[in-house]
Amino acid sequence: MLRTHSCGELTKKNEGKKVTLVGWVKTLRVQGKVSFLLLRDRDGITQCFLNDELTKKTSDITPESVVLVEGKVKVRPDKQIRKDIKTGEIEIETSKIEIISKAEVPLPIEVEEETTTHIDKRVDNRFLDLRRDKVNAIFRVRSKIAQHTVEFFSKEGFVNINSPKLTESGVESGAEEFKLPYFKKTASLAQSPQVYKQMFVISGLERVYEIGTVFRAEKSHTTRHLTEFTGIDMEMGFIENEHDVMDVVENYFKYLLTEVSKSCKEELELLKVKLNVPKKIPRLDISEIRKILKEKKKNIPEDDDLDAEAEKLLSEYVKEKYKCDFVFALNYPWKKRPFYHMRPENNPKGTRSFDLIYNGVEIGTGAQREHRLEILEKQAKEKGIDLKKMKFYRDIFRFGAPPHGGVGLGLDRITEQLLNLDNIREAILLPRDPERLTP
């Protein structure tokens, strides 16, 4: 490797040691004949002192250039300890500096921690935007969320699957598909792994999960919709009802928030986020929610979904009453849910379904599925779908199908809500929406 140490690694204990650091120039401050260079890499920032000779040589270094610094670790006097950086108790007495790659001026966006540059322009220059510690931190947390998700589902005996993204057609009513030429046919990009996760539960794996890309040709311009996002989907067999699925989802979020609090301490501090691990997530029937919302002057007709405003109001209510950032909304109207949902015996207008709302935004939708072929066919017909045309899906229910259910969550939305970000675009490296296909 080019370096002996990272920029966040050195302490008093390394005093006198000869080291080589490489990174980006954060700032170069000339003070009379000498200068101070702040060198940054993924681990932190180190101050490098340049004497007059080196200062003369480096007068053309530009911010964000990549440089290599060789020198000796020097302990700073107590009074001069820099509290603003991790390695504030030391600095490097530079003996050699080499420019590896010079950055052009001016930079297309500023890379200061606090910036007012619009998210669109920042995404246009995402590779530079990520040089900012706070932005970088978001993606370190996202990566940990994905890691703890894998830990949790493997611990619970779920098998990780990868289902096709090139498909014949989807089952998520309401969600539009992207069509593309596929040799002599037209293919659709998968808008959820729904049919496949059911298939592999029934096939005998019993418990499956997938973290994968989901495509939705939605023309929405909101702070919560993307046309390409990462789904966290799971499906499980031999359930008694949808509450068994909710139990797993609840345990997942308890585990996730506890583990992220531990593994992302520095990042959460930097982003000023304090996580509130749920003890018990309230489960409220949609009819009850309608009453709660009515008192808040928000009317949701009987056959309707909760809209964004309703979700926000509901979250506020739950936060106040139950001190919880999460809430399950149960029993969504049959009219609004796809045909594969199971309906409660005593209420054909409802479904054995739930949404999970986190700090005012839906992050998950789940349900018990209909596994009895006769009823499933009737339900498909009611929704104007001919199951005979979806032969491979119909067939999975013909040779022994356990009662089952599952949930679809969004990694981007979980990251957005967990970190209190104001736009889903902050939580994904390169967002895709109706206007954006690059970079």
Footprint of Mg ion (CB under 5 A): 365
Of 33-41, 64-72, 226-234, 385-393, the segment contacting ligand 4AD by CB under 6 A is 226-234
Q: Give the residue at shortest CB distance from Mg ion.
A: 365
What's the closest the beta carbon of residue 212 comes to Mg ion, in angstroms? 17
The residue among 188 and 365 lying less far from Mg ion, judged by its C-beta, is 365
Q: Is 24 exposed, middle or buried (0-12, 13-18, 19+ CB in 10 A)?
A: buried
Q: What is the dihedral of CA 44, 23, 111, 260, to 10 degrees?
A: -40
Of 49-57, 111-119, 309-317, 360-368, the segment contacting ligand 4AD by CB under 6 A is 360-368
Residue 395 in 3-state DSSP? helix
What's the closest the beta carbon of residue 356 comes to ligand 4AD, in angstroms? 7
Return the one option of ligand 4AD, Mg ion, none that residue 225 interacts with (CB less than 5 to 8 A, by type): ligand 4AD
370: part of which helix (H) or strand (E)?
Answer: none
Site string for ligand 4AD, 227-266 (x = CB under 6 A): --x-x-x---------------------------------
Of 45-53, 249-257, 301-309, 363-371, the segment contacting ligand 4AD by CB under 6 A is 363-371
Using CB under 6 A as the binding rule, the residues of this chain from 154 to 213 that contact ligand 4AD are: 172, 175, 192, 194
Q: Are 94 and 36 in contact (CB under 8 A)?
A: no
| DSSP designation for 407 | E
| DSSP designation for 308 | H
Q: Checking phi first, is residue 342 left (phi over 0); if not, alpha (psi -120 to 50) or beta? A: beta
Phi and psi angles of residue 400, each rounded to the nearest 5 degrees, phi first: 100, 90
- Per CB under 6 A, 278 contacts ligand 4AD: no
What's the closest the beta carbon of residue 192 comes to ligand 4AD, in angstroms? 4
Return the one option of Mg ion, ligand 4AD, none that residue 149 interacts with (CB less than 5 to 8 A, by type): none
Using CB under 6 A as the binding rule, the residues of this chain from 394 to 423 that contact ligand 4AD are: 406-410, 412-413
Residue 223 in 3-state DSSP? coil
Of 201-209, 222-230, 253-261, 309-317, the segment contacting ligand 4AD by CB under 6 A is 222-230
The residue among 122 and 224 lying less far from Mg ion, judged by its C-beta, is 224
* Alpha carbons 124 and 324: distance in angstroms, whole number: 37
User: What are the start-end ranges of the E strands in 273-388?
Assistant: 283-285, 326-330, 353-358, 361-368
* Alpha carbons 54 and 31: distance in angstroms, whole number: 13
Q: Is the dihedral of CA 302, 305, 306, 307 positive or negative?
A: negative
Q: Out of 40, 225, 343, 425, name the contact with ligand 4AD by CB under 6 A.
A: 225
| Both structure tokens of 339 | 């045909």
- Per CB under 6 A, 337 contacts ligand 4AD: no
Q: Is 127 exposed, middle or buried (0-12, 13-18, 19+ CB in 10 A)?
A: exposed
Kindly determine how many residues on this chain lie close enough to bind ligand 4AD according to the rule CB under 6 A: 24
The residue among 225 and 343 lying less far from ligand 4AD, judged by its C-beta, is 225
CA distances from 80 to 83, 90, 409 (A): 9, 9, 49
Return the one option of ligand 4AD, Mg ion, none that residue 364 interacts with (CB less than 5 to 8 A, by type): ligand 4AD
- Per CB under 6 A, 306 contacts ligand 4AD: no
Contact residues for ligand 4AD, defined by CB under 6 A: 172, 175, 192, 194, 216, 218, 225-226, 229, 231, 233, 362-367, 406-410, 412-413
